Amino acid sequence: MTSSEKFAVIGDPISHSKSPQLHNKFGDEFKVKLSYDKIHTHASELEARVDSLIEKGYRGFNVTLPLKEAMYKIGNLRGYDLSERSIRAQSVNTVLIRKEKIFLDNTDGTGFIKSMNYPHYFDLHKKNLLIIGAGGATKGILGPILDVYPASITISNRSFEKIALLRERFNSPLLSFNLLKDLNSESNLNEYENTGSFDVIINATSSSVSMEDSLINPKYFKKAKLIIDLFYAKKLTSFLRVAKEYGCNNVMDGFPMLVEQAAESFYIWTGLKPDTNRIIAKRDVFFE
């Protein structure tokens, strides 16, 4: 890289984003000079924002909620280069601004798979997975999860609409879908307690969901080997707290995935691979 490249993250809301801290740490590791801004961008401003970042000489930027799918659509319309990963997820979180052609990618799924190294390496191959939620977060991670060939993936969602969209998009015999209310029904739970088991349970609903909403019956946690919440906070999320109360000690929040997806973006922009292990081990620094 030449001296001091400019990067940014755009989204709405954006004030909570930890991306500037992460990318500055990556920059320090390689003694690369960079700036990384948080730029609040309403969905209606997205096209204009993209143009202005290009004009101002930014080298690249991250796209976060709720703009990832809209960024993909803009890229498609404008004929930007789209990575396989972004096409599969139909959403974009990383933009590389090149002289020739702008390149769009999605590092969320790769970030998720890499996060399986924490707190101990866990192999999803041949495992039975339950994913709660069928929105953007699930769409982002599903492709790379299918590539690992779990034994099965059950996707459970509150309402039907997003299930239908996901079913249309991902066609695999490993996938089955149901409504949360059916998952939590007495008969389903009885059957599960007698014969079934989910090895891994992933909360991929939107972040602020708490167990007060009784997302799933906590009895599902009992036999699980790993519980993941894609949301993260300084303290254990309520989803993971309940999982622990029900006897599953192997829990992981979304922080490792956040670091891994950021490192993958950094790699796209600079060709350098940050030491994510070191950063994840010192997570408290990011919540001060």
Catalytic residue set: 68
Q: Pick from 4, 52, 159, 172: which binds ligand ATR (CB under 6 A)? A: 159
Q: Pick from 9, 162, 202, 261: which binds ligand ATR (CB under 6 A)? A: 162
Candidates 204, 205, 187, 208; CA nearest to 196 is 187
Cα angle for residues 268, 88, 176 (degrees, 5° grid): 135
Footprint on residues 249-268 left by ligand ATR (CB under 6 A): none
Task: Rule CB under 6 A: say whether 67 interacts with ligand ATR.
Answer: no
Query: What is the closest distance, in whole angstroms, from the C-beta atom of residue 26 to ligand ATR in the complex?
Result: 25
**Number of other CB atoms surrounding residue 124 within 10 Å:** 21
Based on CB atoms, which residue is closest to ligand ATR, 184 or 250?
184
Q: Pick from 11, 94, 158, 198: which binds ligand ATR (CB under 6 A)? A: 158
For the record, the structure tokens of 208 come out as 């602020």
Site string for ligand ATR, 194-213 (x = CB under 6 A): -----------xx--x---x
Based on CB atoms, which residue is closest to ligand ATR, 183 or 262?
183
Query: What is the closest distance, in whole angstroms, from the C-beta atom of residue 93 to ligand ATR in the complex?
Result: 11
β-strand partners of 201: 130, 227
Site string for ligand ATR, 97-136 (x = CB under 6 A): ------------------------------------xxxx
- The CA distance from 66 to 81, in Å, is 21
The packing angle between helices 136-147 and 161-169, to 10°, is 30
Candidates 204, 171, 180; CA nearest to 88 is 171
**Number of other CB atoms surrounding residue 255 within 10 Å:** 22
Which residue type does 114 have?
A: K
**Segment contacting ligand ATR (CB under 6 A): 3-11, 77-85, 158-166, 263-271?**
158-166
> Residue 172: CB partners within 8 Å, gap ≥ 6?
146, 153
Which residues of the shown chain bind ligand ATR in the complex (CB under 6 A)?
65, 133-137, 157-159, 162, 205-206, 209, 213, 215
